[in-house]
Amino acid sequence: MTAHHTLEATGLTLGYRDRTVIDDLDLDIPPGAITAIVGANACGKSTLLRSMSRLLSPRAGQVLLDGREVHRMPAKKLARQLGLLPQSPVAPEGITVADLVGRGRNPHQGMLSRWSVEDDAAVAAALAATDSLALADRSVDELSGGQRQRVWISMALAQQTDLLLLDEPTTFLDVAHQVEILDLLVDLNNDRGTTIVMVLHDLNLAARYADHLVAIADGRVHCAGTPGEVFTSDMVRAVFGLDCRVIEDPTSGRPLMLPLGRHGVRVSDTAG
């Protein structure tokens, strides 16, 4: 089983040049759970994930992993505990799928250690988990957007970290593969206890698959808690500026958001 680590942000302020994106944010990630971060475009979700994985240094505050500042930890040690699938990653030109996924094993390689049977097994298992074994010998350049996304997720799985951060892991995937990937992450959480933090745009998928929801607005945490606590019509209106109706999903029992646009709504639903 995976070890449960604590991950938190305290007083975190992030930005680019003269623009502040995240302002004095406090956030605790529940160990051993699946957390989904939601919010409107450009609210700072991806920026927050970048800082939590040490890719972006804070202007103020800190990110703590087991009480230690991640920006002061050796990169390789951090990479053995925390993995990141960023938004729109770029693969080296001409690299094969197997070689790219194999790079997920780099944090486990010492200066004198060689590629091992365990490394082969980790890569094969990661490719199998995303239904990508048949792609192993192909060039990443030749793949469709959906295939490429599954391969990147395979690389993150091959890293075999206790914490996994994913920035929009269902990007480029059709609805069947979105559900497949999210089911895979739930399996990973259930079987290994991996703490998963993911940014999702689809609110209904976030409510269905997450144990813990975090809604970001105006550079801060607007609210956080279970889907039942967070996912309300008031939250959707405040965070996304969208009127909606929230009902119980008949399949999962979780909240289900029905947007109320200007069209496609019965007159009786908008009366009064």
Check residue 244 and give its pLDDT.
95
| 3-class state of residue 229 by DSSP | helix
205-263 per-position pLDDT tens digit = 999 999 999 999 999 999 999 999 999 999 999 999 999 999 999 999 999 999 998 88
What φ, ψ does residue 251 adopt, rounded to 5°?
A: -85, -45
Check residue 272 and give its pLDDT.
42
Q: How many CB atoms lie within 10 A of CB 115?
A: 11
Token code pair at residue 18: 């003269």
Check residue 228 and give its pLDDT.
95
What φ, ψ does residue 111 adopt, rounded to 5°?
A: -65, -35
pLDDT along the chain (272 residues), means of 10: 84 94 96 96 93 94 95 90 89 94 86 80 92 94 90 91 93 88 91 93 96 95 96 96 95 94 70 44
Whole-angstrom Cα distance, residue 240 to residue 229? 17
In 3D, which of 206, 214, 205 has the Cα closest to residue 239? Answer: 214
